[in-house]
Homo-oligomer: A and B are copies of this chain.
Amino acid sequence: MNNRYISINHQLYSEEDAKISVSDLSIQRGFGIFDFLKTINNKTIFLEEHFDRFYNSAKEMNLTVGVDRAVLKNSIDQLMKSNNLPNSGLKFILTGGFSEDGYTMSQPNLILTQVPFEIDKTSFDKGMRLVTYPHQRQLPTVKTIDYLQAIRLQSYIKENLSDDVLYHHHGSIRECPRANFFIVKGNKVITPKTDILWGITRSKILGLKLEDITLLEQDFNLSDLVKADEAFISSSTKNALPILAIDGKKIGDGKPGEITRKINEHLYQLIGIA
């Protein structure tokens, strides 16, 4: 245990006291949403975009956050002040609340956690290896706490000497459990558009103005992977991270690609660490 604080319904608790009743609908029925962002030098990155998604996820699940952005921001500030972790990952979880019958929604519970997180620029050159798996996330555009398949596959990923799993639906590429997926072919950077979570980093990449490079939202298949020149994943923690192999097969020359590097550098600029 560290001396970190956790906020539950806008009250601070030490980590060891941060507990909730087992009647909560997250425990009873896996029912909750969340969002996650990073802080750099005590600055929240893309807070409004994460709030947009968080409030939208709540709405899609018929949950109410219960407070407006100013109050939520205030609780985040309070947590950050108490924890004194300038570089961190901030998570806000909203559950279905304590339920007397273990099924009916009640007043939601809001949990804010903060963990140390430093961007490791050397991870770019190490890259990552993926293994594919057939799975379509339910309610894909909503950031729910449902990671049943991802957690279940933790041993499968290890057995396949991989770092993460890449979902496809009948061969059509979707996403990783916590990251969006991109391939590069020639001067085209392509990311799936159907039934995926709209990552904030993904949207930042699609908004980049890059000379001689075309950014496309367009579905593609398993068989397109080996034909790609580069591949990478995007997320708040990983920025643009090269994928060097998928299902044991090299992507391109098996080294981090130059277009991926350029995109990652643009992301570093956007978040102020270039």
A residues contacting B by CB (< 8 A) are 6, 8, 15-16, 18-32, 60-62, 91, 93, 95-96, 101-105, 111, 113, 115, 135, 138-139, 144-152, 154-155, 178
Copies held by the complex:
2
Given A22-B111, A148-B61, A30–B28 Cβ distance below 8 Å?
Answer: no
CB <8 Å contact, B26 and A30: yes
**DSSP class of A's interface residues: helix, strand, loop or mixed?**
mixed
Chain B residues within 8 Å of A102, by CB: 91, 113, 115
> Told that A30-B30, A31-B147, A62-B154 touch, could you supply 8 new A-B pairs with CB distance under 8 A?
A20-B20, A27-B95, A29-B147, A103-B147, A104-B154, A105-B154, A139-B148, A146-B148
Query: What is the CA–CA distance of A62 and B135 in the complex, to the nearest angstrom?
Result: 17
Partner of A148, one of B22, B23, B30: B30
Chain B residues within 8 Å of A8, by CB: 22
Chain B residues within 8 Å of A30, by CB: 26, 30-32, 144-148
8 A-B contacts, Cβ less than 8 Å apart? A18-B21, A22-B113, A27-B93, A30-B32, A30-B147, A104-B154, A138-B148, A139-B152
Chain B residues within 8 Å of A135, by CB: 138
Chain B residues within 8 Å of A23, by CB: 15, 18
- Kindly name the residue among A28, A138, A155 whose own CB sees the greatest number of chain B CB atoms within 10 A: A28
Given A139-B148, A139-B149, A20–B25 Cβ distance below 8 Å?
Answer: no
Query: What is the CA–CA distance of A257 and B26 in the complex, to the nearest angstrom?
Result: 38
CB <8 Å contact, A145 and B27: yes
CB distance from A112 to the nearest CB of B (A): 10
Chain B's closest residue to A30 (CB) is B30
